[in-house]
Amino acid sequence: MAKTLIYLQEKGLTDFGELEKACDAASQKFSDLSDQIKAAEQRMKDISELQRHIGTYSKTREVYAQYRKLTGRKQAKFYEQHSREIEDCKEAKRYFNSLGLTKLPSIQSLKQEYAALQAKKGKQYSQYRQTKAEMIELLTAKNNVGRILGVTEKEKNRHHQQEAR
């Protein structure tokens, strides 16, 4: 209890209302950082998937072009020999169409975007850990003060409901 009091005095949070606001702000900041990190991770995953399909497409494009030039039995025989490459190329094209891509981005630009996202994520993750620790300290202090004052969430809710009536 004494540690909680010293912590709150150091932070200048001597009013319970201010403490609640600080807890809410810390929770919101933590949530925002978490969302930003998840968005960066999702974009990095999307970039990796796109790079994979671009690589597949570049390897199989010529075989698919040859297949399209042929007709009849020659095409069927060619398909038997190169079915895997042809299907891989078709799958890559379907993926590009699902993204609405008319021109493929360069692998280099994707690598640069990925590296930038990774660096940004690293910086945000250190903030995330720091914000999480701060949020836990504030919530623990709020919980301790609540116990000291005998204020529980049930009592607060009951009090708010009575005020609303």
pLDDT one-digit tens code per residue, 5-42: 777 777 787 778 888 888 999 999 999 999 999 999 99
Mean pLDDT of the chain: 88
Alpha helices per DSSP H over 70-151: 72-99, 107-149
What's the whole-model pTM score?
0.73
Sorted by where each begins, the domain ranges of the chain are: 2-164
Separation of alpha carbons 79 and 86, rounded Å: 7
Q: What are phi and psi of 149, to 5 degrees?
A: -85, -5
Rounded average pLDDT over 32-56: 95
The answer to whether the CB of 110 falls within 8 A of the CB of 50 is yes
The answer to whether the CB of 68 falls within 8 A of the CB of 85 is no
Confidence (pLDDT) at 4: 76
Token representation of residue 165: 């009536």
pLDDT at 141 over 70: yes
| Secondary structure class of 130 (helix, strand, coil) | helix
- Write the CB contacts of 130 (distance below 8 Å, at least 6 apart in sequence): none
Confidence (pLDDT) at 140: 87
The answer to whether the CB of 13 falls within 8 A of the CB of 90 is no
Token representation of residue 61: 């494009």
